[in-house]
Amino acid sequence: MREFNQSNPDHHSSHCAASCNHVTACGGTYGCGDSFNLKVAGTGAGPLRYQWQFNGADLPGLTRSSLNASGIDYTNAGLYCAVVSGAGGSVTSHVAVVNILPILNIGNGSMITLNWAGPFILQGALNVNGPYLDKTGLTSPAL
């Protein structure tokens, strides 16, 4: 998994505002190698404390209202949420689903390279409407 950095609270990104008693985080679909930013906004008796989680586990040191991940890869795909705590108690944000798509590289001439990781099966068709067939025996050049 790539390193996460706490971002500046004034950093421009997609943002979901919370109403008074809950917190919302927005996810999305990103390309391998891209960056993403997640933000939460909580209200209540302060000071407010934040703890980001990935697939149910705390992300150590990520204790601000936003987090930024850069140079992402498939290990960053998953479920993110933030726990916001204050004098009135704690609330957990809705889950932000982050999906990571493979990158298709078109090189010189007609050579195309597709890099992927994990248990994905590549399918192909001569027509966009199919039929799509599994391309067995292929491995990613990135592995």
How many contiguous H segments (helices) and E segments (strands) does the chain have?
A: 0, 13
Q: What's phi and psi for 75, nearest 5 deg?
A: -70, -15
Distance CA 84, CA 76 (A): 22
Alpha-carbon Rg of the chain, whole angstroms? 19
Claim to verify: residue 10 and residue 50 sit in the same structural domain? yes
Claim to verify: residue 8 and residue 64 sit in the same structural domain? yes
Looking at the 3D structure of the chain, how many domains does it have?
Answer: 2
Asked if residue 142 is part of any domain, the answer here is no
The size of the chain, in residues, is 143
User: For a pLDDT cut of 90, what percent of the chain falls above it?
Assistant: 17
Residue with tokens 């140079």: 71
DSSP 61-73: T--SSEEEE-S--
* Per-residue pLDDT reduced to its tens digit, 111-120: 666 666 666 6
Claim to verify: residue 57 and residue 119 sit in the same structural domain? no
For the whole model, what pTM was predicted? 0.65
Claim to verify: residue 13 and residue 51 sit in the same structural domain? yes
* Per-residue pLDDT reduced to its tens digit, 52-101: 999 999 999 999 988 889 999 888 999 999 998 888 888 888 889 998 88
Residues spanned by the domain of 126: 103-134
Claim to verify: residue 17 and residue 50 sit in the same structural domain? yes
